Amino acid sequence: DVQLVESGGGSVQAGGSLRLSCAASGITYSNCHMGWFRQAQGKEREGVAAIDTSGGRTTYADSVRGRFTISRDNAKNTLYLQMNSLKPEDTAMYYCAAGRWVGYPKLSVHEYNYWGQGTQVTVS
């Protein structure tokens, strides 16, 4: 079975930092594009950051560019999201996702096949 398990969420004051992790199993991780998404209460899920299979190409939502950094370790089957200068509007459930396609990393939810259960990030 495919499993994506997020960790690292929590509560932090505005201006603080958190690092999210996503451990993958049951997939050929190095063949998958990976992404971080978030969903605030009452809002649609939105793409935050995505990374290609090798880690050489990344893309970010405008709202987080310059504050968040996505990275991956293919030897450990793990995805990361370093979040700095957090703002209250970053409060949401954060999900990691995996998908397979040829080309650039994408922020569309429809491109991804597998999803984790999410980890809550609260910024006050």
Q: Report pLDDT for 101.
A: 86
Q: How far is CA 42 from CA 7, 45, 47, 63, 92, in A?
A: 23, 10, 16, 18, 10
**Which tens digit of pLDDT belongs to each residue from 43-70?**
999 999 999 999 999 999 999 999 999 9
DSSP reduced 3-state for 46? strand
Q: Report pLDDT for 102.
A: 82
Query: Whole-angstrom Cα distance, residue 26 to residue 3?
Result: 6
At residue 77, φ and ψ (nearest 5 deg) are 50, 45
